[in-house]
Structure 1
């Protein structure tokens, strides 16, 4: 009986955290990170400010959870959508287009990633693990031939994974500085450059 109660309480806590993350995402997009308040996020999530602090210690912790959820969504979509090599370029172009619809989140991601490069930053572990997971997923997909990707001779899967991360993040930074740029075609071109068309 006690175990059942504990499981029910844990499930409610997870559901509440998900509601807070969704509310925070909306608040960050609408107001920007600096102007979004914990009270606004709590109100959107239908809880008190104190209740919110029971789940997250501060706004930085909530932002990390928002960005982690966005990453998780994109990895799920990638697993579902990419079935052949010719879908890689359009998939990554689609990711960039999706990010362009929420430039404030894109900006926050870039700012937080840079700040988290300091080992003492609260999001340091998240970003370190995120990049490791991203590279490992790409490398594993190449080695296991899940989508039949064959890289150009001399390009290792490990290098390709590093380069892809650099290109995706560099393109987003350039677009934030000049939103007239087309960043979707370059990522498709880059993926083609990586491929051995044999």
Structure 2
């Protein structure tokens, strides 16, 4: 049985929020978070400044939603593309290339993640959950590789998952400092080292 679609005020509110989030994403990407204004975002969304504040009282609220939407889209895409760990490296290469097309959003994510390391930061719990979920998913895949004899000898699945997160974050930060740097090649090299076959002569 198909689930009925939302109608009435709720559907309109959800659609309006989606429009605002898209407008915020475009404004952040064009101007950067610091220079983007709520009035510009409201204009892009086709609503008044007061109307925007009704849905999102602060710019920080909007940024969190923009990043959460990006994460949601990437999780969905990842699940559709990666049915086996052998497909992980090509998927991550696509993710890195996609992020390179929106450097301002990449920069915003890194800046917010660092700021959210403080327990009193509004996005602290979000990033704690986000990293934990990512580690759990990577660890599960690494355990499967270990069972197949395809994880580097002596490398624990939990450690491999943490290292993979560190490599992905570190490569993107380095690229933001030097956009001529190849980050896809090193990521693929790391995956090859991690998934070294123990049965290879």
Whether 1:14 and 2:24 are equivalent positions in the alignment is: no
Instruction: Provide the C-alpha distance between the structure 2 equivalents of 1:173 and 1:12, rounded to a whole number of angstroms.
Output: 38
Asked whether the 8 Å contact 1:117–1:124 carries over to 2, the reply is: yes
Aligned residue for 2:44, secondary structure, equals: helix
State the superposition RMSD in angstroms. Answer: 2.0
Whether 1:44 and 2:40 are equivalent positions in the alignment is: no
Instruction: Provide the C-alpha distance between the structure 2 equivalents of 1:149 and 1:32, rounded to a whole number of angstroms.
Output: 45
Shift of 1:149: 8.9
Shift of 1:122: 0.7
Shift of 1:196: 3.6
Structure 1 residues 141 and 17: alpha-carbon distance in aligned structure 2, compared to 1, 3 A threshold: farther
Q: Which of 1 and 2 has higher RCO (CA within 8 Å, sep 6+)?
A: 1
Instruction: Provide the C-alpha distance between the structure 1 equivalents of 2:141 and 2:152, rounded to a whole number of angstroms.
Output: 16
Structure 1 residues 149 and 16: alpha-carbon distance in aligned structure 2, compared to 1, 3 A threshold: farther
CA shift digits 1:151-196 (9 cap, x unpaired): 2232222211111110000001101111110000111111111114
Count of aligned residue pairs for this structure pair: 192
Instruction: Provide the C-alpha distance between the structure 1 equivalents of 2:149 and 2:78, rounded to a whole number of angstroms.
Output: 14
Asked whether the 8 Å contact 1:142–1:149 carries over to 2, the reply is: no
Aligned residue for 1:95, secondary structure, equals: helix
CA shift digits 1:126-157 (9 cap, x unpaired): 11111011111222344467xx7942232222
- Which ranges of structure 1 fall in alignment gaps of 5 or more residues? none
The alignment's TM-score, normalised by the length of structure 2, stands at 0.88
